[in-house]
């Protein structure tokens, strides 16, 4: 079983739609959680950290459920520029190593 699992997609949604991505992690010692965004042929970049209480950044909302070992990312009012691959990332307790999911691809169409 992979340490971090994501639905690879692709998710094809129209502009303005709301879309949600899910991610599960297997190691209960996971301490920190992030969503990264990766554009085609580019490097991953941090989109947002995920906090236990949930957090929002504009159109993006991240949630963490430690009991179910589950992370989500919600994108409201999708834009064409949101088209990218979204990577779920976990850091284990007492390490500086990131563990990446394989990513979920989003394609927003006009």
Count interface residues toward another protein (CB under 8 A). Answer: 21
Q: Which of 84, 90, 77 is nearest to 103 (CA)?
A: 84
Min dist. Cβ of residue 40 to another protein (A) = 11
Min dist. Cβ of residue 70 to another protein (A) = 18
The interface with another protein within residues 66-95 (CB under 8 A) comprises 87, 91, 95
In whole angstroms, what is the distance from residue 110 CA to residue 108 CA?
7
**Contacts of 67 by beta carbon, 8 Å cutoff, 6+ apart:** none
Positions touching another protein (CB under 8 A) are 8, 31-32, 34, 41-46, 49, 87, 91, 95-98, 100-103
């Amino acid at each position: 079983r992979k340490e971090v699992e994501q639905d690879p997609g692709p998710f094809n949604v129209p502009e303005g739609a709301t879309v949600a991505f899910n991610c599960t992690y297997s190691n209960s010692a996971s301490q920190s959680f992030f969503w990264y965004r990766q554009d085609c042929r580019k490097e991953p970049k941090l989109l947002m950290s995920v906090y236990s209480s949930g957090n929002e950044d504009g159109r993006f909302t991240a949630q963490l459920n430690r009991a179910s070992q589950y992370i989500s990312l919600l994108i409201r009012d999708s834009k064409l520029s949101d088209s990218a691959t979204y990577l779920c990332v976990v850091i284990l307790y007492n390490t500086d190593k990131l563990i990446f999911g394989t990513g979920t691809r989003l394609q927003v169409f006009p």
